Amino acid sequence: MSAAASATRKQDMPPPGGYKKIPYLRVPAKSYFTGFQMLAGYAVVTAAGMYVYYLTAKQIHREEIENRSAQNVIYPLLIAERDREFLKQLRRNRDEEAKLMANVPGWEVGTWYGEPVYKTLPKDTLVTPLFKEFYAHTDYKSYAKRAHLKLWS
């Protein structure tokens, strides 16, 4: 026999006193607050939030009234500016027509070869042009952009 075989063998044994017990019982989560404390905290947070909302709502209400008043004041001015720009564009359209048709004999601006287009209306009556007529002398991109806005709004 070899020296290794003749050596005494030692069996692996449990430590003195045995192994620790295996934990298999449920370990509940640590409780920081009781149910009453949580309800009281919820009530305090809700009351504080409602108070802040009340203060903020008063300020927002005041600002809404101010904005509405400003809109009511400036609205007539915006309408007047829109109408003024509309009339200026009509004048630009007439000037462009006069420049384009300058070499055509017998052409008068605002007529069809000297004949008024609207025979039953007085000469000083404004006839609102069609959408395409209003944008007749612009590039297609401007016309298409405005047409898209008009159709979708």
Q: How large is the average pLDDT for residues 93-100?
A: 92
Name the pLDDT band for 4 (thresholds 50, 70, 90).
Answer: low
pLDDT score for 67: 96
Each residue of 67-93: b (16+ CB within 10 Å) or e?
eeeeeeeeeeeeeeeeeeeeeeebeeb
Q: How much of the chain, in percent, has pLDDT values that exceed 90?
A: 44
Mean pLDDT of the chain: 89
Give the pLDDT band of residue 3 (cuts 50, 70, 90): low
Q: What is the pTM of this model?
A: 0.56
Q: What is the mean pLDDT of residues 7-20?
A: 85
Q: Exposure pattern of 105-143 as b/e (b: 16+ CB <10 Å)?
A: eeeeeeeeeeeeeeeeeeeeeeeeeeeeebbebbeeeeb
- Mean pLDDT of the 117-141 span: 86
What value does the mean pLDDT take over residues 101-118? Answer: 85
At 126, the pLDDT band (50, 70, 90 cuts) reads confident
> What confidence tier does 8 reach under pLDDT thresholds 50, 70, 90?
confident
Instruction: Tell me the mean pLDDT in the region 129-141.
Output: 88
CB 37 within 8 A of CB 31: no
What does the pLDDT read at residue 45?
98
Q: What is the pLDDT of residues 31-86, one digit of tens each?
A: 899 999 999 999 999 999 999 999 999 999 999 999 999 999 999 999 999 999 99
The residues spanned by each domain of the chain are 41-152
Angle at 81 between CA 76 and CA 87, to 5 degrees: 125
